[in-house]
Amino acid sequence: MAEEGQDQDQVSEYLEQNPSVAQWVESFRGYFENRKTWSARREFILKNMEAFPSVQPGQESSDLNRLLSLSMVWTNHMFLGCSYPADVMERINEMGEGIKVQDAPLHKTTKELYVKGKRSAASEGDSDVSVKKLKCGSEPDGKGSGRSSLKSGPLPQAPAEQQPFFNRLYKAVAWKLVSAGGFGPNLDHCEILRSCVESCKQTLTCTFVPLKDITGLPAGRAQMEGHVCEIRCQTVYMGTGYGRDETAAKNMASKEALKVFQGRKVTVKICRRRFKGRDVEDLVLLDEQPRSQALPPALSYPFQEQEDPPSEGAG
């Protein structure tokens, strides 16, 4: 406690002796930052200025933007428990070494918070209700609940063929989120996902289904206006979301897709899903988090469908 006070005294003394620097660095304080958070981030910025040669008070530079982004990443990790790719975590821990934070909060890992958030999605309002409700067994197009399976689907080698692209996309998303200060509710999730995918020379595919056309919803939901959106890239399923209109649904699906990028890696796998009342094999982008719940039913199926073979004894 005393050591931290000494560190803060040294920072305060330095800023008193350099009022122009104090005014400059104070301009970077966010309106949402309390005294404790800002004091820690301010010390992080001042401590690491020398490592970015082009950072000079009163001057804009790419190094300054990078330093400010890393300072936000560090405080997000320290105070909110956010986690980032291993190379980013290693760098911010090195840059933050020696900075004492009084009563630093203890957090669960991002993966634990993600699981908890998925389980409580229904209590977060209509914005997140789609994924929760679709996981409760609702199926698009009202085709019944038959157990027959489509015989076609992704080829066995498809996950390995798709993995290199999604490894590149993972890096693009990770750095985009670092630049934005970390994953959060106020981001333009749709724009971040779109720009990252396009930077990797691909495009997103979105499928929309009116909520009223989805059967099996709980009482009181069957007549609700709105749409459900499913997002894919290169036939790989990434996320599902609900919204009052198609734009809102796409935004929520993008948010769900970006959540997958919060772990140390993403993996393309062949998973069982429901599509039009049937079990199908689908390509799905997953993180490292074990899943106890089924994936949402598919709104689209980009693989060739085949009719069920005739039953035995059919003439």
CATH number for position 234 = 3.30.160.20
> What is the residue-wise DSSP string for 226-288?
-EEEEEEETTEEEEEEEESSHHHHHHHHHHHHHHGGGSS--EEEEEEEEETTEEEEEEEEE-S
pLDDT in tens, 154-206: 999 999 999 999 999 999 998 888 888 878 778 899 999 999 999 999 999 99
Does some domain include residue 161?
Answer: yes
Q: What pLDDT was estimated at residue 195?
A: 92
Q: Into how many domains does the chain fold?
A: 2
Does some domain include residue 150?
Answer: yes
Q: Let me know whether 140 and 211 are in one domain.
A: yes
Q: What is the domain extent for residue 159? A: 110-286
Confidence of residue 4 (pLDDT cuts 50, 70, 90): very low
Q: Let me know whether 161 and 201 are in one domain.
A: yes
Q: What pLDDT was estimated at residue 216?
A: 55
Q: What pLDDT was estimated at residue 153?
A: 86
Q: Please give the backbone phi and psi of residue 206, each rounded to the nearest 5 degrees, phi first.
A: -115, 135
Residue 248 has pLDDT above 50, yes or no: yes
pLDDT in tens, 257-276: 999 998 888 999 999 998 88
Q: Which residues pair with 231 in a beta bridge?
A: 206, 239
Q: Let me know whether 266 and 236 are in one domain.
A: yes
Residue 292 has pLDDT above 70, yes or no: no
Q: What pLDDT was estimated at residue 238?
A: 96
Q: Let me know whether 155 and 252 are in one domain.
A: yes
Does some domain include residue 291?
Answer: no
Confidence of residue 215 (pLDDT cuts 50, 70, 90): low
pLDDT in tens, 107-152: 444 444 444 444 444 444 443 433 333 333 333 443 433 444 445 7
Q: Let me know whether 31 and 137 are in one domain.
A: no
Confidence of residue 308 (pLDDT cuts 50, 70, 90): very low
